[in-house]
Structures are given as structure tokens and as C-alpha cells.
Amino acid sequence: MTKRIKAWLVEKYPAWIFLAVLLLGWEYVVAQEWVASYLLPSPTQIFQTTVELWPEIYAATLSTANSIAWGLGWSAVSGVTLALLFFAIPIVRRAVLPFCIFFQTVPIISIAPLLVIWFGFGQPTVRASAFIVSIFPILANTLTGLQETDPHLKELFRLYRPSPWQLIFKLQIPSAIPYILTGIKISAGLAVIGAIVGEFIAGGGLGSLIDAARTQQRVDLVFSGVVMSSVLALLLVFIIEVVSRVLLRGRPYLRKL
Amino acid sequence: MTKRIKAWLVEKYPAWIFLAVLLLGWEYVVAQEWVASYLLPSPTQIFQTTVELWPEIYAATLSTANSIAWGLGWSAVSGVTLALLFFAIPIVRRAVLPFCIFFQTVPIISIAPLLVIWFGFGQPTVRASAFIVSIFPILANTLTGLQETDPHLKELFRLYRPSPWQLIFKLQIPSAIPYILTGIKISAGLAVIGAIVGEFIAGGGLGSLIDAARTQQRVDLVFSGVVMSSVLALLLVFIIEVVSRVLLRGRPYLRKL
Amino acid sequence: ASPAPLVLALNWKPEPQFGGFYAAQVQGYYNDNGLDVDIIEGGSGTPTIQMLLAGRVDYAIVSADEVIIALARGGSDIVALFATYQTNPQGIMTHAERGFESIDDVLHSEGVLLWQSGLPYAQFFKKQYSPFKVVTAPYLGGIGNFQNDVKVSQQCFVTSEPLTAAAAGLKVKTFLVADSGYNPYTAVLVTQRQRWEKSPAEVKAMVAAVRSGWNNYLQDPAETNKAMLALNRAMSRETFTQSAQAQRELIKTPTTERVGEMTQARWQTLADQLLDIKVVRQPVSVDKVFVDL
Amino acid sequence: MESSGQTNTQSAPARVIEVQHLVKRFAGAEHAIIDDLSFAVPADSCLSLLGPSGCGKTTLLRLLMGLEEPSSGVIHVAPAQAKHMSYVFQEPRLVPWRTCLENVLLPLELIHQNNQASQAYALDLLQQLGLDERLQHFPGELSGGMQMRVALARALVTEPKIVLLDEPFAALDERTRFRMQDLLLELKSRLQLQYVFVTHSIAEAVYLGDQILLMDSTGRARDWRGVDFSERNQALKLAPAFNSIVQTYSQLFSEMERNSTASGSGESRP
Amino acid sequence: MESSGQTNTQSAPARVIEVQHLVKRFAGAEHAIIDDLSFAVPADSCLSLLGPSGCGKTTLLRLLMGLEEPSSGVIHVAPAQAKHMSYVFQEPRLVPWRTCLENVLLPLELIHQNNQASQAYALDLLQQLGLDERLQHFPGELSGGMQMRVALARALVTEPKIVLLDEPFAALDERTRFRMQDLLLELKSRLQLQYVFVTHSIAEAVYLGDQILLMDSTGRARDWRGVDFSERNQALKLAPAFNSIVQTYSQLFSEMERNSTASGSGESRP
Ligand SMILES: Nc1ncnc2c1ncn2[C@@H]1O[C@H](COP(=O)(O)OP(=O)(O)OP(=O)(O)O)[C@@H](O)[C@H]1O
Ligand SMILES: Nc1ncnc2c1ncn2[C@@H]1O[C@H](COP(=O)(O)OP(=O)(O)OP(=O)(O)O)[C@@H](O)[C@H]1O
Ligand SMILES: [Mg+2]
Ligand SMILES: [Mg+2]
């Protein structure tokens, strides 16, 4: 395992180098006052703040992570399910899909009262927000993936008069996998934003922290929160990648990502 | 042409029926006061408000549409370009992609002052916001599409020692088309949200309208703005579909959407 | 089992503007009055008044103009119980070096004014001072843009942003909105009329506890500030202290007899003003809008 | 010519496949691909299908399988058999993410018959097809001929009553091909399997078919006749009777080519 | 056996392809697919490659083309020729969204030679391959044999010096196949084209190859010899000399099969 981790670190070295360059550049830009530090704090400043307020930031991060996991988990499950439903019953797709596009564009903040009243104040609303924001990419990508199944293979399956379930589980889902995984990765980022915005409205977690810091002009704290949320997103993408690799292990021909 | 429009109306009838059912149901729910009208105005109320304030709403919609088109257009161009770059130079991908995920999760609102200072109040910031929010799905989907190119065809091309450009334009982009189009469709919705949020920050368009209405508890006006923005999104998806159909006309085997 | 605690919803984070409500908790005044109260904080976009209207929370802190608007929008009846700020703490903050003397100057000079254009006082200004020379743009909190450009003025709570600006070394001059004649009560404790009619004893106890809380906070905010500081690490201890200090005269004006008191006349003025600027479309009767306990 | 074939089979037992005045024209195409084709396959009889490249053999199989709709005409397959038909496509068409064995088990899974007996049969088939060392390989790791054999095993594993085979042995060397031919004949006699067999090898067509249908490039039946050998084994291929039939077809082919070149309606001009 | 072949070609002119002690073992595989294979192709000579299904013919072609790396051993292709090599895959491998004609023009586009002369040549080739009525069809609308012919045209359109052909005619009827064979011979004499030709038809191998390499299923060369006919045309196939060579190979195949069955090391046990 340690060997693997080592290999992974080595494989990712361009990212580490780039990160280092980025941080140094950033530090320099702020040190030279090319950008005022009340707009963009330096990395060291952000780091100091993070260390200083670690207990609060840690707790907030955990709470946000929880909401994100919940929201993304459900949007993965229901996005894929919905896509299957739309795919299986075209009339439903033609009827409902436009409204999915419709709802996708509703800014969370403008339906905040509805959300809070339906889901309750606090975490439920945050979760709902993460969910709402992140379902569409999974839905759209899965749907495309299902539609792009190789027609030759579809024909082969049809010879045996498969049930819709068989067709879906043995053919269509496997061939949609690269689409689904990409959809989930796109959604991971959105779920993070959804959770943060949800917390602006319903309180708790990093969103609340960022919100408070923002009005108090604590840019260092704002960025500390932003960095933590981005770290969550990265972690999430990393987990998705690892899980999908483990799940697809021994199936190299389930086209790779 | 009128025939086509007719055919289209007929093809889309499930959506129209669903829309009718939805609107009637909604009207009924509000009429029965199952949901208070200060939370959810009835469709007729929204319609009345829209008619009443049509000049303002129309102007705002145009302005927002402009920003969306600009933001989405650029994110399509640069999303695809960036994906090509990442694909062509893997080390750049490994270095930069994590940071794209990183930046994707930064809530626009928390870097609002930076945006405003860089781009100024008004439309430039709105466009930038629409752009920032909508680039990632196109990037991620295009990248997956490029990576999923049939290895057999890649081998075929390699026989003729193609330049990277040839490989990209004659093989990889064509085979990534379903991915790219899905990415653009996902991004269309996000560009709408991005523009609205951008207008929360920098003023103008439907975003300002919604924001002002929200503080005054004018839910009818909020929803009127939201509906207009969603209509923009639908229109956009429709345009994307038509344009892609026209572009791919006569190329049925560029796998269809 | 003991009954579920009463929920009091704030429309912003724990800050001195809610000092009395927290003091009542810290000092145990709620318990003394036989109440068990949970305070939940708000944030950007938290629909506090709608949460109250929908019965999701029992008490809420909102501003007086929100109450009038809600009544005008046909929401179920709500009733104001305790008005913390006698003078509206909202203001316009400008750079001192621009030498403005009044809100009039700000609006009729070149520059940028950041505010939430939907706020009733913004409408009031538009009616009162149009046409503006200043360019208006949205305000999203913080003072980043203000700090960056001397031409920028912005909305503020006089108990908050000017202190932040001063801490950042800026010289500012702040004008109270109230000076323009628009002066709604702010940080008003409200509940549903139903609640007041059903259990007046509880409501009275609530107001009593809150009033004790505020008296305590006005006297010595240190202990409560410490408690709030733990809940809101974005605000520094000094800012808490300064803010608590700055708000005193807005809560207890020379004419204030009891903290939190309200008058029919002021509610009426507000209702008239809101009608005048078309924020509400029909007259709202203020006869029963508050109970002065 | 058609009638000469027909008399041979007219008095045969119940027809399992019956095709009448079949026409298939693809959307937008000028000419019909299959143009007024009629034939029948009685019970216990197997059909070989010959014809130049692009004449419509695959299309005919697809029509028989129900993968395409006829433009006009009638296709009738006896219901008892129709339920147990399988198809070997011209290309292997394996599921890329399933191993060799899993590909063969796929039909069993789909018809809910993936039990031990069937699995044993699948393994047995794969062994007879010389694939027992490749069970866990993915299609991408198999040679072209192996892939085709997997496809054959997949079509046979459900013990169908009718198999439609589209040039299944084209990618095999002669020896392997002969073994496969005999396997098919064995299944035919042991399991009463019937097949429709498309091939480009005249010898193979004669060896495997009780009837032979020769299509020309205008989509009509050029020749349809029965061939009857008491016993079929590889030695038969050396028999003069066998070779004279092969010769006949070879000549028919040359004739067809000459005609089409002369009339210019053919699809190729060398 | 190997040496008997070698003497035939030892004194030949400069070698265009030279393979020495070639070994290819796939990652994770137990046995080497190609095991210590050595041969050479002199200038003006064409090689036919025979061997049972799965013995490694395709793998060898891929190694020659540089699509796979040898595990050990040396492959040397004369630089002048190496730059002008092309390959016909075992499956058509057409670009699905390009029409028949566009598929043939693809290599010309890629090597920046899509000029009028080349286009005329492409059209000419397509006509010779009997595809002139299918120019605007997509691969999905072509029959299996047609697709393979498009792939052949694509490989020939760049006027390569060496073509590696992996069973290009397997999906064609006899007549079309013969025409294609003669086309290949014509190109060979007219353009000094050299080819390495994989086939399962012994007759085809003998007809087209100046040398014939027979591989066995252990990945070794079983036989390598030259065949020499003063003139090659379809009539040759009836000549006794021709048939005796075909017979020899047929026997070699049977022998190989017997050996592999006996030793149990073979990949198939009927
Ligand atoms: N989808 C289609 N659209 C238009 N034409 C088609 C389509 N499919 C097949 N064809 C045409 O139908 C004809 C017959 O095709 P088919 O595949 O049946 O030939 P075949 O006899 O199997 O040939 P081969 O021996 O080469 O496999 C061909 O000319 C082909 O171009
Ligand atoms: N990627 C791979 N991984 C593992 N084994 C492979 C791979 N590719 C080919 N093989 C094995 O190599 C052997 C030779 O394959 P090859 O395709 O060269 O055979 P062939 O002689 O062309 O057979 P055919 O006549 O059936 O096309 C086969 O046993 C095959 O299973
Ligand atoms: Mg065919
Ligand atoms: Mg091969």
C-alpha cells in the first residue's frame, strides 16, 4: 500500500510542482502588493488563519462534507435512476426532461424560502441544495451514455428478448460507465457549491463561515473556507476515481477513463 | 419550414401536456392554499406580473441573454481548447486539471470583490461569471470524449504518422462529439445560473430584478424572473440542438444524440 | 418530557445587534421566565420572515419594513413585540476625504454607491433624491470594493462596516439613513398573531426575558460578547466591543423610556412611507401590528 | 432455374421457414436489395446460401431473424422453431468487457438458464471449438478466428432449433474449418439443429447444405436446388459426385459474372 | 525444414524485411506467441503467411508494422520501404462517419497528398474493386465484403512499397476474390509493390506468394520455402505443379494437427 501511495505521489508530481509554483507566485503577487491583501490574502496568511481557527474550521468542514456526501450520493443514485427511467420510457423523457433543464437554472437563493420551509432550517436544506445543484450533469451524461450504446451490441442482446432490466444492467449501464463517471465528477464540484450556497441560506458549515467572514471583510477566513471546500471537492474526485478503479478492476475493457 | 415546426410541436406534445398538467396542478395547489402564496405564487399571478412589468422584464431578459450567450460561447470554445491542450500534453493535464476542479468549487460570491475589481461593475463581470461557472462540464466531458476514442481507429490513423492536429480534427473531435454536445448542454444551464449570480454581484439583467424582488418579498416578481431565465436556458438548449443537427446533417454515423 | 424549546430565528450571524437576545440566554433570563429558547442564526438569503410565517420558527428578528411588507403581501398576521433599534442603524458609509456633508451630497456627486437596490430605503432615496449622479451597484457585504477605491460609497450598519473600515485604517464618514426621514424599527422581535392570542403569557414572558437581556447587554456586554464570539469567529473581540458600544445610542435614544418600546405613530409613518414609495400597493392597517408589552 | 429447385423440395415435410415474394429496399436506395425472393426450408433440412459479395445474403439472414422488416412479401417461420433461433453475425460482435466464457454464457443469462448443466455445455462447446485455454481472455486478447469461434459457441449454447450463420468460418484455417463443419453436422443430426449457412466457399455450401440457394447481384434467386448425400464426412469432398456439384456452381458463378458485366447492371466491372 | 526454405532465398538480392530470433510474449501470458522466428524477404519478393487460427499471424504483421514491440529479437525493414508501408487489418476498421470514398481518401489527407491525381487513382481503385456505385455510402451501409474492399483500397491508395494484408479476401466470394488476387499481382508487377499476405486458403497463399511461411501453433516457423512460377494467372491453379504444392501444405497442416493433438500442447483437441 505504501508503495502504491508513493507511486501515486510520483505520478502526481506535476500537480505538486504546479501547486508550488502557484503558491509561490501568489505569495509574491501579494507581497509585491500587486493585488491588495484585503482582496486576496497571501497563502501564508490563509494558512495561519486556518491553523489559528482550526477547531472551528475543522468542524465546519466536517459538517459541509457530510452534506456534500449526502447530496452527491443521492444525486448520483437518482440521476442515474432518472436517466434510466427517461431512457426506458421516452414519452416521460420528452415530457419531463425540459423541466429538468428548467429547474436546473433556478438559482437556489431565489427559492430559498421554499427550500427552508419544505426541508427545514439547517442541514436538510443544505443537503437538498447540494442535491438539486448536482443532479443534472449526472442525469444528462447518463442519458447520453445510455443512448450511445453500440447499436450492434444492442441488436445482439435483442436476439434473446431480454427484459428491460437485463438490457440496462448487462449492456447499457456498462457501456455508459465513462459517461456516468464523468457526470459524477462534474457533479462533485457542483455539489460542493450547492452545499456552500445552501449554508449561506440555512446556516452551518463552511458556507456560514465564509458568509460571516465575507461581511466582516475577513478575506483570509473567506479564503480559508474556500480552500477547505475546494479540498473537499478534490478529495471527492479522488475518492470517486479510486472507487471506480476498484469497482472496474479486472474489467479493463469497460472503456477506461 | 412550417411543416417542420408543426412536426416539432407534435413531437414535443408530451412536454406541452406535462406543462399544462404542471401549471394546472400548481394553480390548484396555490388556490387551495396548500402552499402559501407568499412562498409560491400561482402561475396566473406570475403571468400577470410578467405582463404588467413586461418592458422591464424584457429589457432585463435581453441583457441577461447577452451575457449568457457570451459566457457560454467562450466557455465552449475555451473548454474544448483546454481539453485538447490537456489531452495533447498529459503533463499539463496532470498539473492543471486538479486546479480546475479546485477553482470550479469557488463560490462566485466569495470572490465577488475580486471579480468586480478586475472586470468592473456591469456586464463584463456578469459574462465572466457565466463563463467561469460553465466551463468545467465542457472541459471534463470533452476530455473524457477525447480519451474514449476507439483505440482501433487511433491505431489506423497512426499508420500514417498524422500530425497531432490531424489526429485531433479528423479523429478525436468527431468521436468526442456526443460528449462535447452533452457538456455544452449541461453548461447551458450553468451559464444561466452564472449570469444570474453575476448580476447579483455586478447588477443588471434578471439577476438584479430577482435580487431586488427578493428583498421586497415580491415572490411573484422573483418567479417571473426565474421563469424568464429558465426560458432562456430552454431556448439555449433548443438552439444547441438545432445547430448541432444542422452541423451534423448528412453525418448520421457521428453517433447521434 | 419537557416541551420542545422555542425557536428564535435571527436574520444574521451572532453579532452585537442581537446582543440582548443572547444575553437573555447567557444570563438565564429565558429560564427565569419559564422559557426554553433556541437561537438559530441566519445568513445571506435566509428567509427569516417566511420561516416565521410558515410556522417553522416561533419567534423571529426582522426589520419593521419587512413586517409591513409581509402584512401587505397577505401573509398570515404577525405581530411585533420588541423593537431593539429605535434608530435605524443602516447608513451610507463614505470616504472622509470626499468631504460629503449629507446623503444628498453622496447621491448627487460622482462615484459609485454600493447598495442592495431592493431595500426599502433605496426606494425611498430614489423617490426623495432622484435623479442621482452617483452610479449604483449591488452590495454583497464586506468592504473590499470600498477599500479599493476612494470613489466608492456603500451601505452599512453603522455598528459594523465603519468599524471594520476604521480597523483597516480608513477614514470614513457615515450618514444615517434615519436622518433622511426614513427610520423603521430594526431588529424587531416578532411572532405570529395566533401565538400572541393563544398564549399571551408565553409571549409576555419572552418579551420580559428579552428586555432583561438587552438591559443587561447595554450595561455590560462583555460576558455575552464572549459567548457570541465563540459562535462567530469571523468577528474579532475588539469589533464586538466597539460595535456594542456604538449601538447603545441607537437602542436607547434620549427619548427612550423602556428598551424595545414602539409607538403607533412611527409604525404609521413607516406604513405611509412604504405606500408612498410603492413598496406596498395598498394601505396597511397598523392598528394591531404591534403590542407594547 | 428457380422452378427446377422447387420441385425437389415441394413434397417435403412441413416447412419450417417459408419466404414468399420477399422484397427488401433500403430507405433512399434506388434498387431493391432483395427482389421477389421465394423459397422454403422444410423440417430437418439445412440451407446453404451462396452469392457474390454484396448481393444481400446478410440482409436475407437479418430478415429471417426479424432484425429487418421486409419491404413487401412474407416470411414465415414455424412458431415452435421461431422461439429458438439464434444468429452468428458476420463479425464476431462480442461484448468487449466480458471474457470469452462470459460472452458465451451471456445468452444463458438473458434467457434465465445459466444453470450448472448449461455451463458445463458451454465449457464443452468451447473445448470442441479449441478455446479451452482462452476462457478468461477478453475479446480484445483473442485472434480473429478465435473471436468468431466464441461467437459460434454463443449461438449454439442455448441449444437453438434454427441457427442463422453468416460466414462463420471465413476467418478459420482449413483444418479448423473442417472440424467446425463436422461439429455443425453432428449437432444437426444429434439435436435436430437446422441452420441457414452463408458462405463464400462453394465446397462448404455443398458440404453443409441440404439445399443450396444461389443469389445473384440483382437480389433474385439464381438457383435453388436440393443436394442429397447419404453420409457427409470430409472424405465426401473428394467424391466425384460432390465435385461435379461444386463445378456446376462454379460455372453458375462465372455465368452470373459474365451476364452482369455484359448488361452493366452488376455491381462490379473488373 | 526451416533450413530447406532458407537456402532458396539466401542468395537473393538485398533484403527488404529481415526478422531474426523474433520473440513476442504478451504481458501476463504463459507461453510466447511468437517464439524464435527468423526469416527474410528479399526485394521483389512477396511473402504468404499460413498457419492455424490463433498461431500468431496477425501478431507477426503487427510487429512488422511496428504496432507491437518485440519481446526480443530483431525486425529490420529497409528504410526506403519502411516509410511507405501500409496495412490491411483483419477487420475492415473503417471510420464510421466517413463515406466509402472519404475513407479511401483519408490516408491521402493524412500524408497531405489529397490532390486530383490521387483522387482519380482512388476512384480508379474503387472501380476496380467494384465499389463505384457505393462511393457515398457510409460503412454501416456496406456489406461485409464491401467494407473489406474499401479497407483494401485505403491501403493501396497511397501507392505503398510494402503492404501487409491480414486475410483481406476472407469475406469475398470466389470470383471477386480471384479478381482481387489478380489486381494484387498486377500492382506487384506494375508498381513493384511487395506484400506480406496472411490467408487461410493454401491455394491463395501459393498463388500469391513468392515465399510461403508456415507457422505452427507454438509460434515457430514450421516451414519456409520459395515457390516459383514463371507466370501467375487463374489458369495456374489448375496446373499439376501448383496443386502438388498445395497438396504438400495440406499435408503439412494435417501433420501439425496430428502432432499438436498427440503432444497435447496444441490449442485445440477435436
Ligand atoms: N443500411 C443500409 N442502407 C443502405 N444499403 C444497405 C444497408 N445495408 C446493406 N445495404 C446494401 O445492401 C446490399 C447487400 O448487403 P449485404 O450485407 O446483405 O450483402 P452480403 O450478401 O452479405 O455481402 P457480403 O458477402 O459482402 O457480406 C449491399 O449492396 C449494401 O450496400
Ligand atoms: N493483447 C493480447 N493479450 C494476450 N494475448 C493476446 C493478445 N493479442 C493476441 N493474443 C494471443 O495471441 C495469439 C495469436 O493471436 P493472433 O491474432 O496473432 O492470431 P492469428 O494467427 O492472427 O489467428 P487468426 O487466424 O485466428 O486471426 C492468440 O492466442 C491470442 O489469444
Ligand atoms: Mg454479408
Ligand atoms: Mg489474425
Per-residue pLDDT of chain E (270 residues; tens, 9 = 90+): 333 434 444 444 688 999 999 999 998 888 899 999 999 999 889 999 999 999 999 999 999 999 999 999 999 999 988 989 999 999 999 999 999 999 999 999 999 999 999 999 999 999 999 999 899 999 999 999 999 999 999 999 999 999 999 999 998 988 889 999 999 999 999 999 999 999 999 999 999 999 999 998 888 888 888 888 878 888 888 888 888 999 998 888 888 877 766 544 444 333
Phi, psi of D167 (to 5 degrees): 50, 55
Q: Are A123 and A63 in contact, with CB atoms under 8 Å apart?
A: yes
Ligand 2, atom 18: closest residue by C-alpha: E56
**Rounded Cα distance, C246 and C224, in Å:** 16
For CA atoms A225, A227, A228, A234, give the dihedral sign. Answer: positive
Q: Say yes or no: E141 contacts chain B, CB-CB below 8 A.
A: no
Residues of A within 8 A of D91 (CB-CB) are: 152
**Rounded Cα distance, E119 and E157, in Å:** 9
Q: What would the mean pLDDT of B106-132 be, rounded to a whole number?
A: 88
Residue A121 is nearest to which of C51, C142, C235, comparing CB atoms?
C51
Helix intervals (H) in D74-141? 79-82, 100-110, 116-128
Overall number of domains in chain A:
2
Say yes or no: A174 and A229 in one domain.
Answer: yes
Q: Which residues pair with E197 in a beta bridge?
A: E48, E165
Q: Are C209 and C24 in contact, with CB atoms under 8 Å apart?
A: yes
**pLDDT, tens digit (0-9, with 9 covering 90-100), for B221-243:** 999 999 999 999 989 999 998 88
Contacts of D127 (CB under 8 A, 6+ apart): E269
Say yes or no: B244 and B181 in one domain.
Answer: yes
pLDDT at A1: 57
For CA atoms A186, A188, A189, A193, give the dihedral sign. Answer: positive
pLDDT at D110: 95
Cβ–ligand 2 distance for E30 under 6 Å, the answer: no
Cβ–ligand 2 distance for D141 under 6 Å, the answer: yes
**pLDDT, tens digit (0-9, with 9 covering 90-100), for E4-52:** 434 444 444 688 999 999 999 998 888 899 999 999 999 889 999 999 9
Cβ–ligand 1 distance for D144 under 6 Å, the answer: no
CA-based max dimension of chain B:
71
At C282, list the grid cell. Answer: 395598498
Q: Are C293 and C203 in contact, with CB atoms under 8 Å apart?
A: yes
Closest CA to B115 of B211, B236, B202: B202
Q: A102 falls in which pLDDT band (50, 70, 90)?
A: confident
A–B interface: beta-carbon pairs under 8 A: 172
Q: In Å, how far are C218, E191, E194, E239 from E184, measured between CA atoms?
A: 103, 10, 9, 20
At A176, list the grid cell. Answer: 455508459
A40 alpha-carbon distance from chain centroid: 25
Lookup result for grid cell 423571529? C60
In this complex, do A36 and C147 lie within 8 Å of one another by their Cβ atoms?
yes
- The DSSP annotation for A211-233 comes to HHHHHTT-HHHHHHHHHHHHHHH
Say yes or no: B113 and B240 in one domain.
Answer: yes
Contacts of B25 (CB under 8 A, 6+ apart): none
Cβ–ligand 1 distance for D219 under 6 Å, the answer: no
In this complex, do A218 and C43 lie within 8 Å of one another by their Cβ atoms?
no
Phi, psi of C269 (to 5 degrees): -55, -45
Q: What would the mean pLDDT of A147-160 be, rounded to a whole number?
A: 92
Ligand 1, atom 5: closest residue by C-alpha: E141
Cβ atoms within 10 Å of A69's Cβ, excluding its own: 17
SS3 content of chain A, % helix, strand, coil (to 5): 85, 0, 15
Domain range for residue A168? 43-254
Pairing of strands E194-198, E162-166: parallel
Percent of chain A clearing pLDDT 70 (strictly above): 97
**Rounded Cα distance, B107 and B99, in Å:** 15
At C24, list the grid cell. Answer: 437573555
Q: Which residues pair with C38 in a beta bridge?
A: C7
Which of A67-81, C131-145, C211-225, D80-94 bottoms out in mean pLDDT, i.e. has the lowest?
Answer: C131-145
Closest CA to C210 of C187, C231, C233, C232: C187
pLDDT at D223: 84
Say yes or no: B85 and B129 in one domain.
Answer: yes
Interface-testing mutation among D93, D94, D97, with chain A (most A C-beta atoms within 10 A) = D97
Burial class (CB in 10 A: 0-12, 13-18, 19+), E228: exposed
Residue B59 sits in a domain whose CATH number is 1.10.3720.10
Average pLDDT score over chain A: 88
Say yes or no: B84 and B201 in one domain.
Answer: yes
pLDDT at A184: 94
Atom of ligand 2 nearest to the CA of E219: 14
**Rounded Cα distance, C237 and B62, in Å:** 47
Q: In Å, how far are A174, B232, E114 from D90, measured between CA atoms?
A: 24, 49, 33
At E231, list the grid cell. Answer: 507466370
What is the residue extent of each domain of chain E?
A: 11-84+161-168+194-259
- Among A147-151, C175-179, D13-17, E216-220, top mean pLDDT goes to C175-179
A41: three-class secondary structure by DSSP: coil
Q: How many helices (H) and strands (E) does chain B have?
A: 12, 0
**Rounded Cα distance, A84 and E13, in Å:** 65
Q: Are B140 and A182 in contact, with CB atoms under 8 Å apart?
A: yes
Q: Are C251 and C210 in contact, with CB atoms under 8 Å apart?
A: no
A–D interface: beta-carbon pairs under 8 A: 39
The bound ligand whose nearest atom lies closest to the alpha carbon of D143 is 2
In this complex, do B230 and A102 lie within 8 Å of one another by their Cβ atoms?
yes
**Rounded Cα distance, E221 and E23, in Å:** 12
**pLDDT, tens digit (0-9, with 9 covering 90-100), for B38-56:** 888 899 999 999 999 999 9
Interface-testing mutation among C233, C235, C238, C243, with chain A (most A C-beta atoms within 10 A) = C233
Nearest CA in chain E to B253: E97
**pLDDT, tens digit (0-9, with 9 covering 90-100), for C80-95:** 999 999 999 999 999 9
C128: three-class secondary structure by DSSP: helix
Give me the amino acid identity at E88. Answer: V
Lookup result for grid cell 420588541? C82
Cβ atoms within 10 Å of E258's Cβ, excluding its own: 11
What order of strands is seen across the sheet that includes strand E15-24?
E34-42, E15-24, E72-77
**Rounded Cα distance, C192 and C6, in Å:** 13
| DSSP symbol at E12 | S
Residue B140 is nearest to which of A19, A105, A186, comparing CB atoms?
A186
Residues of B within 8 A of A40 (CB-CB) are: 114
The chains in contact with chain D, meaning 3 or more Cβ pairs closer than 8 Å, are A, E
Say yes or no: A19 and A141 in one domain.
Answer: no
Tens of pLDDT along chain D (270 residues)?
Answer: 333 434 444 444 688 999 999 999 998 888 899 999 999 999 889 999 999 999 999 999 999 999 999 999 999 999 988 989 999 999 999 999 999 999 999 999 999 999 999 999 999 999 999 999 899 999 999 999 999 999 999 999 999 999 999 999 998 988 889 999 999 999 999 999 999 999 999 999 999 999 999 998 888 888 888 888 878 888 888 888 888 999 998 888 888 877 766 544 444 433
D19: three-class secondary structure by DSSP: strand
pLDDT at C264: 93
**pLDDT, tens digit (0-9, with 9 covering 90-100), for A43-64:** 999 999 999 999 999 999 999 9
Say yes or no: B142 and B233 in one domain.
Answer: yes
pLDDT at D261: 60
**Rounded Cα distance, D248 and D246, in Å:** 5
pLDDT at E234: 81
Atom of ligand 1 nearest to the CA of D56: 18
Q: Say yes or no: C54 contacts chain A, CB-CB below 8 A.
A: yes
Nearest CA in chain B to E82: B159
Ligand 2, atom 5: closest residue by C-alpha: D141
Helix intervals (H) in C112-192? 120-129, 144-148, 161-167
Burial class (CB in 10 A: 0-12, 13-18, 19+), B69: middle
| DSSP symbol at C76 | P
Give strand ranges (E) for D130-243.
162-166, 194-198, 211-215, 221-226
Say yes or no: A15 and A134 in one domain.
Answer: no
Closest CA to B69 of B142, B134, B121: B134
Q: How far is the CA of E176 from the centre of ligand 4 (A)?
A: 21
Pairing of strands E47-50, D47-50: unpaired
Q: How far is the CA of E55 from the centre of ligand 2 (A)?
A: 7
Say yes or no: B13 and B65 in one domain.
Answer: no
Cβ atoms within 10 Å of C171's Cβ, excluding its own: 9
pLDDT at E261: 60
Q: Which CATH superfamily is domain E11-84+161-168+194-259 in?
A: P-loop containing nucleotide triphosphate hydrolases (3.40.50.300)
Query: Of the residues D133, D143, D176, which should be mutated to test ligand 2's pocket, given the most ligand atoms within 8 Å of the CB?
Result: D143
pLDDT at C282: 86
Pairing of strands D194-198, D162-166: parallel
Q: In Å, how far are A161, A202, B33, D27, D260 from D69, measured between CA atoms?
A: 17, 59, 55, 12, 28
Cβ–ligand 1 distance for D52 under 6 Å, the answer: no
Q: Which residues pair with B244 in a beta bridge?
A: none
At C26, list the grid cell. Answer: 447567557
More confident residue, A210 or B248: A210
For CA atoms D181, D182, D184, D185, give the dihedral sign. Answer: positive
Cβ–ligand 1 distance for D51 under 6 Å, the answer: yes
D69: three-class secondary structure by DSSP: coil
Phi, psi of E87 (to 5 degrees): -145, 135
Q: Are C174 and C158 in contact, with CB atoms under 8 Å apart?
A: yes
Say yes or no: B31 and B51 in one domain.
Answer: no
B225: three-class secondary structure by DSSP: helix
B63 alpha-carbon distance from chain centroid: 16
**Rounded Cα distance, B39 and B34, in Å:** 11
Residue D175 is nearest to which of E58, E253, E269, comparing CB atoms?
E253
Q: Are B185 and A140 in contact, with CB atoms under 8 Å apart?
A: yes
Chain E touches chain C, with at least 3 Cβ pairs below 8 Å, answer: no
pLDDT at C60: 96
Q: What would the mean pLDDT of C90-111 be, rounded to a whole number?
A: 93
**Rounded Cα distance, D185 and A14, in Å:** 62
**pLDDT, tens digit (0-9, with 9 covering 90-100), for C19-78:** 999 999 999 999 999 999 999 998 888 889 988 988 889 999 999 999 999 888 876 689
Cβ–ligand 2 distance for E51 under 6 Å, the answer: yes
Q: Which residues pair with E22 in a beta bridge?
A: E37
pLDDT at E8: 44
In this complex, do B226 and A106 lie within 8 Å of one another by their Cβ atoms?
yes
Say yes or no: B11 and B59 in one domain.
Answer: no
Say yes or no: A65 and A192 in one domain.
Answer: yes
Percent of chain B clearing pLDDT 70 (strictly above): 97
At C117, list the grid cell. Answer: 437596490
